[in-house]
Chains A and B, each alone.
Chain A
Amino acid sequence: MARLPYPELQDLSPENRELMAGLPPLNVFRMMSGAGASFAPFMQFISAYLNDGVLPPDLRELVILRVGHLCGSHYEVHQHERVSRTIGLAEERIQAVKGHIPNDLFSAAENAALLFADEQVAQVKVSDTTFRAAHEHLTDAQTVELTIVVGTYLMVCRFLETLEVELEETDIDGSGLEAIEESVKSLSGGS
């Protein structure tokens, strides 16, 4: 059982209720709908890199999975393995991201980004060597986005694990990313 109760729809603000109506039925969103005014901006923020980001989606998902493994967040890994499969990542690449990096199943850019993620998680500041190695493959915009994505899943994993958000009984269909994009766009006054 989760550590805090999932909020009831009728107890939510109109904005959060409206948002919940369009989002995929995932327990992480059910829980966070109880976070008040921060919920909608959180969803707009994640939709920005998930749906309009500048990183290649494969690389982004591999990095997200890596952070999930490093944080020991079963829920996060489960959901993003589903997203990864939906967008076409090969199963052996999905499994390999649990293990030693670099790995031949990953491109040079992916290996560099994963090593960057490892260092960022463990020591906050990425070393010069690792920064330069990733930046050789990624633009300034992509390197900034990579750093933000790694950091965001440190936040998400902490939210999930500390509040003990449970896996759903059945998986949702598809990646769920389009539904996130649509519901964020339809927020009154939201852009």
Chain B
Amino acid sequence: MARIPYFDPANADDKLKETIDKLPGLNIFRMMAHSGGLLAKFAGLGNHILGRAKLDATLREIAIIRVGVLSKASYEVHQHERIGRQIGMSDELIKALHEGPEATAFDGLQRLVMRYTDDVVLNVRASDATFDPLTKHLSHQEMQELTLTIGYYMMVSRFLETFDVDIEEEGSTASVDLKSLERK
């Protein structure tokens, strides 16, 4: 159970109410609504990372889910495995994210992203051994996007775990709509 009660939208001012109405009814947003105006900016950055980046969606979800696994953030892993399936990631690929970079399900580039993600999460500064090979496949912008994505989801994992945000009940349809993010 969450460590503090979810925000009661009855206490929201007009601007916050508008933000809450626009977002999917996920528990992460219900909890973060306590922060008032920060909610819209937090979600705005997340929406751009998910919907407006040049980085390939599968590589992005590999990094995000791996951060969740390393952070033992079950809510984050749950939500992004859902997104991963929506964009066509196989069960085998998703399972490999729990095993590590050397799992056989990864292709060459996916393995490099896994190694880089582990290195950035654990060591802050990625070593030449994980940084350099990736730059042969990704543009400078994509390298930046990947790095920000890893960091953003480290933050998200910490928020979710520290507030014990509950996974939505079975059958909940609340979800981030990737298609609508891309259209904006």
Contacts and interface: CB of A to CB of B under 8 A. Distances in A.
Nearest to A4: B140
Q: By DSSP majority rule, is chain A's interface helix, strand, loop, or mixed?
A: helix
B151 interface: yes
Given A148-B155, A155-B154, A162-B147, A41 B48 contact: yes
7 nearest A-B residue pairs (beta carbon): A155-B151, A151-B155, A161-B125, A125-B161, A37-B52, A35-B144, A45-B41
Q: By DSSP majority rule, is chain B's interface helix, strand, loop, or mixed?
A: helix
B44 interface: yes
Contacts of B71: 124
B36 interface: yes
A24 interface: no
A7 B45 CA distance: 21
A174 interface: no
A49 B34 CA distance: 13
Interface string B95-120: 00000000000000000000000001
Contacts of A72: 124
Contact of A38 (B32, B53, B125, B155): B53
B168 interface: no
Interface string A45-81: 1011100111000000000000000011100000000
Interface residues of B, number: 48
Interface residues of A, number: 50
A162 B158 contact: no
A154 B161 CA distance: 15
B52 A148 contact: no
A3 interface: yes
Interface string B122-147: 00111000010001000011011101
Nearest to B164: A125
